[in-house]
Amino acid sequence: MNTNRLSMIMEKALSNQMNKEIHASHIFLSYGIWADDKGYQGIANFLYRHAQEERNHSIKFMEYILNRGGKPKVEAIPAPPNDPESLTDCFDGVFKHEVDNTTAIYKIVDLSLEEKDWATWNFMQWFVQEQIEEETLAQNLIDKLKIAGGDRATDESLFTLDKTLSEAPNEVPLAQEATGYNP
């Protein structure tokens, strides 16, 4: 008896996303190594933690496919892009990769709607929310660097930024949690 509750197209789309999350993990790992090598230990730690978060996302897709009776397939992961040329380039890259990932997540949501696969639609809502968080996090990185002076930041302000990011959480409060007391 066929116990696979996913269509073949959906199983493939979710499996591709499992691999895409690992690709994202490798990109942030490579950015972290770049930052570490440049002496930005705090920024590197932040990126390493983020890489781990992407790996966790991949595992969520893996578990979901298996739980629905499907079988994910681990594919060859493309090499990460070249090292960033500056901190601005690095943080812009983080934002761009998050937006790319959001686009991929939305495509799966579209497919679930098309197929009336409500279980997958429901599962994907966690990722829709997570992407809001991750895009905001990336925007915050860009803003913090801008305030520090961008590519013309002084060593002192970069030292402070690096220190801040070494302790910064990899999560941001969501707009839907804000109140007048806690904007």
**Residue 53, annotated as binding a ligand:** no
| Size of site (CB under 6 A) for ligand FEO | 7
Nearer of residues 19 and 101 to ligand FEO, judged by Cβ? 101
- Whether the Cβ atoms of residue 68 and residue 119 lie closer than 8 Å to each other: yes
Contacts of 78 (CB under 8 A, 6+ apart): 23
Single out the residue of 17, 23, 11, 30 nearest to residue 76, CA to CA: 23
* Minimum distance of ligand FEO from residue 70's CB (angstroms): 20
| Residue recorded with tokens 């009336």 | 116
**Residue 54, annotated as binding a ligand:** yes
When asked if residue 134 is in the footprint of ligand FEO (CB under 6 A), the reply is yes
Binds ligand FEO by CB under 6 A, chosen from 10, 22, 57, 120: 57
Q: Which tokens go with 94?
A: 């983080």
When asked if residue 98 is in the footprint of ligand FEO (CB under 6 A), the reply is yes
**Residue 156, annotated as binding a ligand:** no
**Residue 75, annotated as binding a ligand:** no
How many Cα atoms sit within 13 Å of 71 on the Cβ side?
Answer: 2
When asked if residue 27 is in the footprint of ligand FEO (CB under 6 A), the reply is no
Residue nearest to ligand FEO (CB): 57
Binds ligand FEO by CB under 6 A, chosen from 10, 40, 54, 61: 54
Binds ligand FEO by CB under 6 A, chosen from 10, 18, 24, 43: 24
Nearer of residues 25 and 153 to ligand FEO, judged by Cβ? 25
When asked if residue 6 is in the footprint of ligand FEO (CB under 6 A), the reply is no
When asked if residue 21 is in the footprint of ligand FEO (CB under 6 A), the reply is yes
d(CA 63, CA 79): 25
- Whether the Cβ atoms of residue 29 and residue 58 lie closer than 8 Å to each other: no
Q: Is 144 exposed, middle or buried (0-12, 13-18, 19+ CB in 10 A)?
A: middle
| CA angle, residues 94, 100, 103, in degrees to nearest 5 | 145
Residues that bind ligand FEO (CB under 6 A): 21, 24, 54, 57, 98, 101, 134
